[in-house]
Amino acid sequence: MSYIDGFVIPVPAGNREAYREVAAKAAPIFKEYGAIRIVECWGNDLPDGKVTDFKGAVKAQDGETVVFSWIVWPSKEVRDEANRKVMADPRLMEAEMPFDAKRLIYGGFELLLDTGE
């Protein structure tokens, strides 16, 4: 059963291309370690919620938008092993993140429903 890593990230609007470049550089490394699919989405229709919303979840500031992304893995076991390798990979240590990583939200999810396959 597939396993999903999900991310919600506040990114300064002016860093859109820098973010895309970092994501494009990182994607083949994640795939090398077993990821099946990497999806990066740039927020452009993020309504303000009454209780919570995407911007509030990451404390997005004026001039920031929210990136919503996910990585599909063949299993949690592959993901766990890959994460150890990814975090130690020197190719990713060189990249400067174009966002405040302290406000990044991430987590792992068991697949419940997928109509794409």
Alpha-carbon distance 84 to 10, whole Å?
24
Phi, psi torsion values for 20, nearest 5 degrees: -60, -40
Whether this prediction's pTM lies above 0.75 is answered by yes
For residues 64 and 16, the answer to whether their CB atoms sit within 8 Å is no
Beta strands in 1-117 (DSSP E): 3-12, 37-42, 64-73, 105-110
Which DSSP helix (H) or strand (E) runs through 86?
helix 76-88
Q: Per-residue pLDDT tens for 53-93?
A: 999 999 999 999 999 999 999 999 999 999 999 999 999 88
Comparing CA positions, the residue from 105, 110, 109 lying closest to residue 7 is 105
